[in-house]
Chain A
Amino acid sequence: MNFLTRPLCLLAIGFAPAVVFAGDESKEVIPPESPVTETQPAFRISAEYNVEQTYVGDAEVRREGVSRTFDESDTVVDFVFTPRVSFGVLRLGLGYEHFSFGFDNGWPLPSTLQAANLVIGLDTELFNTILVRIEAQPGFYGAGTSDLEMDDLNVPFIIGGTYIYSSDLQFVLGVGVDVNRQYPVVPGGGIRWRFASQWVLNAVVPTPRLEYEWNRSLTVFAGATIKDQTYRMSERFGRLGGQPDLNRAVLDYSEVRVGLGFDWKINNWLTLSAEGGYVPYRQFDYHRTEVRYHNVHGAPYGTVALHGAF
């Protein structure tokens, strides 16, 4: 007899590896006279992290017949505490990203772009079926020099929601706001759909993917990564090339990577990822001074990352 069907869809967004957990030692039967008290949850640090390195080979951008050829190194480090509170999950942490472009003579394109920011956010729930994320990333978003200055301060933020239609299908919709961007509000979102037992269409911008779960530890995927961030040039950046209107100019750098890769869950808190492919699009856009370098030809790229949550 089955009284009522039980909820057994666990929405395993990522399958767990075979990890030995601390066993529950008690083998006691349930004592009828058990004290009526609630076990207090033990304090447990909860966090997620990501350390990622990407190299892009020689590519070319051009403006008004002038080309620039360069390679790229992109380093990302994030660490975010995710403590559970009564109204959701807080997100409190730090992020750092550093682009290094290998120009011989790149001006007016910067040889570095870097962001050092805080992460302050909240994941919470509405009506049991909608998860909402509000997250600001206040920090320094600079370029042109290795230093980050007070004028580089910016507070981009995102507001998004995930509607959980079922454990197999979720819809994501949100906006990213950056007042320095040419279009300050950019919509994003997508769909996550497990359409077969091992296949997941995780088509959510900025990292849409088609995933195949080879086994509990290994997922292979094909997909894209879309990057778009604004950076503030230094005070003397324009003067270096005789174009003072680029002093303190805002550069909107965007890049699209398309490739194949895998996620290997080494254990419950550590995943090794690697991917490789091609960068078909990138743009350096000083949109307020209408100086734009468009993509001429892309380049292959490779990424290695260690990430996880605990």
Chain B
Amino acid sequence: MNVRLKTLGGLGAAFLILLGAANGRADGVSEMAAFSVFGKVDPAQLAQSDVKVMRSPTMNSPRLVSVQSCYVTPRSPAQEMAVMRDWNPAKHRELKIFLHSDLPGSPGPNDFVALRKAPDNSSIGDLVSKTQKLSPDLQISQEEAKKLSTANAAGGGAMPGGVASFWMNLLAGRARAFATGGSAAEASYNHTGQNIRANDELNALLREQGKVRGQFANFLGGTGIGRGTGSSKPEMYWELLDVDGDGVLTLGAAYRRGSGNGPYQSADVLYYASGGYYVALTLFQMWPVNVGGRPSTLVWRGDFISSEQLASLHGVERLASESAMMKDITKAVTLYRRDTSSAR
């Protein structure tokens, strides 16, 4: 009798555990279904498959595009967040990130000194050439343009000293502006002849994705994304990368929120780019799920980009552009999952 009671008790406990796991799973899956383009997904099936990628609803502005993706990783959300922070995409050449460096809270020109050792390739050559000519393609302000001395910008090497100094000062100034005043403090790209402001672009991206904005509103309200500086401290960085064959210098900031085994949210914003795109925003939401008795994480990711080049694409070209974006996301997430498959 005693043995039987213990067995029943054990079964009851097991049932409760399973119920809890099922509830936890249902919460994340249901929540994701409520605000994303994905319906109800099966985490167990998703854990065994490639990342799932879909277009977001079409946006009104022709220069905006968005893609959403989801996948499952075999660790808790807290572990997932830590692994994600440590992963270095720059080691994958196919991702075309030439330089990546973290920044302190109040960056100075010397924090960009790696720029002097930029690789010698056609993308960087294109950036240097455009800088030396003060090309209207450069996304800088008129005030910043005045600081470029063409005489000093001349010189040899992959990144001539004058060109490197110009960008080091410009990037430092813009990074400090973001640290103290969020994206609202960023100067416009008015050297291009257009009064494009990163802050407006970020707000437009979010405004056109109402459900996503609703899901992340509280979190984003504490950041400097689409507003003045928030209560959350950004983790800032800069990169030199390739966008459609052109070298592009970009400034980014990341925020994250969450604790314990609860849901996590994070946001990664590129609030400045020297060309190629105006802004880019990547949002993540992570929920704990139980897959085969193993603590796992259901990850939703939303990628949002504003670019003048997108506005010129119509019909099948637009379709192709979105397909290429989905392919790039699939590639990046696949590399990430492969690199971190054994991490805990």
Contacts and interface: CB of A to CB of B under 8 A. Distances in A.
Give the size category of A's interface with B: 35 or more
A291 interface: no
B148 interface: no
A2 to B, nearest CB: 6
Interface in A218-272: 265, 268
A129 to B, nearest CB: 6
Contacts of B122: 196-197
Interface string B32-59: 0001000000000000000001000111
A29 B315 contact: no
B209 to A, nearest CB: 7
Contacts, number: 256
A125 B316 CA distance: 10
Contacts of B305: 6-8, 10
Give the size category of B's interface with A: 35 or more
A4 B89 contact: yes
A36 B214 contact: yes
Interface in B150-173: none
Nearest to B204: A24
Interface in A1-32: 1-21, 23-32
Q: Which DSSP category, helix, strand, loop or mixed, fits chain A's interface? A: loop
A102 interface: no
A27 B199 contact: yes
Interface string B100-132: 101000000000000000000011011000000
Given A21-B63, A21-B311, A3 B282 contact: yes
Given A1-B235, A197-B246, A216-B137, A167 B206 contact: no
B217 A32 contact: yes
A41 interface: yes
A209 interface: no
B254 A131 contact: no
Interface stretch (A82-90, A136-144, A178-186, A296-304): A82-90
Contact of A167 (B53, B60, B200, B324): B324
Contact of A12 (B60, B200, B244, B248): B244
7 contacts: A13-B317, A14-B313, A21-B311, A32-B221, A46-B314, A123-B316, A133-B316
Given A10-B244, A37-B211, 12 more contacts: A8-B276, A10-B307, A13-B321, A16-B308, A31-B221, A36-B211, A38-B211, A89-B316, A91-B315, A164-B324, A194-B244, A309-B314
